[in-house]
Chains A and B, each alone.
Chain A
Amino acid sequence: MSQPSMWEALRGVVRRDLLLAMRHRSDVAMSVFFVVIVASLFPLGVGPEPTVLRMIGPGVLWVTALLACLLSLGRLFTADYLDGVLEQMLLIPQPLVVLVVGKVFAHWVFSGLPVVLLSPLLGLQFGLGGDSLGVLTLSLLLGTPTLSMIGAIGAALTLGLRGSGFLVALLVLPLFVPVLIFGAGAVTSSLAGIGSEANLSLLGACFLLSLAFAPWATAVALRIALE
């Protein structure tokens, strides 16, 4: 019998993780409602002035997406680490990078994608409209996978450590900064009517760069955590 190919392994990991997430739908719902509630707190705290809301909206929504990604990072490897499945996964004949990519993709589907889909609605709360809503959704679509990939490095490095929640935030948030700047910048520049192409291109560059390096760093970090 021949070994499953890399694609089959990738598909297997994605399918398994999506299935597991579907069985714990409340976990997913939590991160979605977290985003909605945090985004709704800002107009209550800052006041309902439409011009102010439109000014802070892109930044607030992006920071919210960042925090949602951060809070869900614990789910990425921890459960598999605790019940020993992760150790078995390191033994598969396919490259570990493939497994990491699969897990990160499944993580993004349940933590990043809902935020992307919700963002037009949340954007309306902040008085964004027309083009800028589209740019907001597009920037999140480009940016949230990057966040998941960078976050995976931090999640793997802090696997099983005490106080890993705070530690992962300290490690990962500085690395999120470029994505935050370009993502929020894209929406702000489209609001100002300058055009958002430059920022979106830079977001795309961040995505490709992290796609090229982050899975490898995560794989190395997983091996270090489990040796």
Chain B
Amino acid sequence: MSFTGINWFKYSSPQAFHPLAGRMIPWFSAAALVLIGVGLYIGFFVAPTDFQQGDAYRIIFVHVPAAWMSMFLYVIMAAWAGLGLGLNARPSFMMAQAIAPTGAMFTFLALLTGSMWGKPTWGAWWVWDARLTSELILLFQYIGIILLRASIDDLRRADRASAVFALVGVVNVPIIYFSVRWWNTLHQGASVSMTASPKMAATMVTAMLVMTLGFWMYSIAVTLARMRCVIVERERQPAWGKNASIQEVAEAR
């Protein structure tokens, strides 16, 4: 169908995607385990102790990657949702549905590790600072999307309504990211950026980036596993199974 002779849309059918996801999950899980293991080792045993914060800073190796993931995953979820609305494609909505709980989990993790870091360094579990507040709102948005989907019985409407809400909520992501620059906040500014050299030791940056990669792999593995559940849940048909051909599935409908 395309000029390269490859059918790019082969895996956009849930029936074709289900086994592919199953084959990919072990690889991504293994990569996640190795990367997170290596990242934690570098972070806890190789990276030097901070001269100001002592060893308390080491939670950064979980906190910053989790916060990054919470924002990345929201944007990716919204992109899938937008793609679903634009192309009217069910698998895109399924991806958005599969990503949401992982995103909510990372947002919660970022808030939790943040407050564990805040207590020894700021002396408070929580402050009403722009970045903390906007991250909390992101958590509320994830929860709102999950609940909105759950409370609509009609799948088509559930998909599309939660997609619209996810897209509306994208406004919040740049606010979170730039909050430390726009407002004078207690939360420190970015230590790592694309344009300037990092304001921290090289081993620390390495540990953080390895952890981020590990979290990415974990997110992909978990999303694929959830995607498989979603597919089975939605496409349950009598003939649907490992050995059923597309033909049989089509006949069963």
Contact = CB atoms under 8 A, between A and B. Distances in A.
Interface of A: 153, 157-158, 161-163, 167, 170-171, 173-175, 177-178, 181, 209, 213, 217, 220-221, 224-225, 227
Contacts of B157: 224-225, 227
Given A162-B151, A170-B143, A220 B137 contact: no
A213 B165 CA distance: 12
Q: Which of A163, A175, A209 has the most CB of B within 10 A?
A: A175
A80 B70 CA distance: 39
Given A167-B148, A167-B151, A224-B157, A157 B165 contact: yes
Contacts of B165: 153, 157, 171
Contacts of B133: 177, 181
Interface string B126-162: 0000000100010011011001100110001100110
B152 A161 contact: yes
A223 to B, nearest CB: 9
B164 interface: yes
A187 B185 CA distance: 21
B151 A157 contact: no
Contacts of A174: 137, 140-141, 144, 169, 172
A217 B143 contact: no
A166 B32 CA distance: 38
Nearest to A154: B165
A175 B169 contact: yes
B167 interface: yes
Contact of A157 (B141, B164, B175): B164
B246 interface: no
Given A220-B164, A224-B164, A171 B151 contact: no
Contact of B168 (A173, A175, A224, A227): A175
State the 3 A-B residue pairs at the shortest beta-carbon distance, nearest first.
A174-B140, A224-B160, A174-B137
A136 B147 CA distance: 35
B167 A217 contact: yes
Contacts of A163: 151
A220 B165 CA distance: 11
A161 B168 contact: no
A178 to B, nearest CB: 8
A153 B141 CA distance: 14
Given A161-B152, A175-B168, A221 B161 contact: yes
A167 B147 contact: yes
Nearest to A226: B157
Contacts of A158: 148, 151
Contacts of B152: 161
Contacts of A161: 151-152
Nearest to B175: A178
Q: Which of A162, A170, A181, A227 has the most CB of B within 10 A?
A: A170
A59 to B, nearest CB: 12
Contacts of B164: 153, 157, 217, 220-221, 224
Interface string B172-186: 100100000000000
Nearest to A178: B175
Nearest to B133: A177
A213 B168 CA distance: 9
Contacts of B156: 227
B161 A224 contact: yes
A170 B160 contact: no
Nearest to A164: B151
A163 B160 CA distance: 19
Contacts of A209: 171
A175 B161 CA distance: 16
